[in-house]
Amino acid sequence: MKKKLVVLISGRGSNLNSIINATKEADYPATVSLVVSDTSKAQGLNIARDNDIDNFIVERNSFNNKNEFEKNLIKKIIQYDPHLICLAGFMIVLSRGFVKKFKGKIINIHPSLLPKYKGLNTYERAINSGDKYSGCTVHHVNDELDGGEIIAQKKVVITSDENIDTLREKILKQEHKLYPNAIKTLLS
């Protein structure tokens, strides 16, 4: 029996796409049961629709506070009883209460070699620091931003002529392999 994933997105959804593609392999241990976005504008919703995957929008902007927003998010997620909740470009920092509710079940992908460069603008920060390497990290989500236990990482070389766009592309290409593989390892 395949295990269930809920994927939370806010935008493009290229990681969602890579996860969905992986789930089409016969020996992949999981399937995407639900995609949730905090905005109707997320392009990733079309990827879910094109693949006939249940999808749901909880507009962050239509709630006065995060608590109300998360209540609705939780209500939807528990209907699907997921083995893992995969954050894939989800731009909302989840509360301590939310993390506790799904303890050990939430993972995220981040475009840096954590613990370096938590938060935003990871490409600029790596290039401006003169780093020779950057990469991506899949990690457990706890109540510290990008601070949970590391599950998997992939390194990329930063060349002397690197710019933000080339580094972003280079890392994204690796994310698309790292994330589905990390999920597979966790659930096998």
- 88, 94, 106, 167: which one contacts ligand GRF (CB under 6 A)? 88
Q: Shortest Cβ distance from residue 64 to ligand GRF (Å)?
A: 26
Q: Which amino acid is at 39?
A: T
- 12, 66, 105, 125: which one contacts ligand GRF (CB under 6 A)? 12
Q: Shortest Cβ distance from residue 154 to ligand GRF (Å)?
A: 11
Residue of 83, 110, 139, 140 with catalytic role: 110
- 11, 82, 135, 148: which one contacts ligand GRF (CB under 6 A)? 11
CA distances from 145 to 25, 120, 126, 167, 178 (A): 32, 11, 18, 22, 20
Q: Which amino acid is at 28?
A: Y
CA distances from 98 to 8, 92, 127, 171 (A): 13, 12, 34, 29
Helices 164-187, 14-23: axis angle to 10 degrees equals: 30
Residue 46 to residue 67: CA distance in whole angstroms: 27
C-alpha closest to that of 171 among 89, 100, 62: 89
Cβ nearer to ligand GRF, comparing 44 with 180: 44
Task: Examine residue 89 and tell whether it contacts ligand GRF (CB under 6 A).
Answer: yes
Q: Which stretch, 14-22, 31-39, 62-70, 145-153, contacts ligand GRF (CB under 6 A)?
A: 14-22
Q: Which stretch, 11-19, 29-37, 57-65, 72-80, contacts ligand GRF (CB under 6 A)?
A: 11-19
Which positions from 90 through 119 interact with ligand GRF, judged by CB under 6 A?
109-111
- Which residue has 């972003």 as its token pair? 168
110 flagged as catalytic: yes
Structure tokens of 51? Answer: 């693949």
How open is the CA angle 12-14-99, to the nearest 5 degrees? 80
Q: Which stretch, 10-18, 33-41, 96-104, 150-158, contacts ligand GRF (CB under 6 A)?
A: 10-18
Task: Count the residues in the chain.
Answer: 188
Cβ nearer to ligand GRF, comparing 78 with 157: 157
Which residues are part of the catalytic machinery? 110
The site for ligand GRF (CB under 6 A) is made up of 9, 11-16, 44, 88-89, 109-111, 136, 172, 175
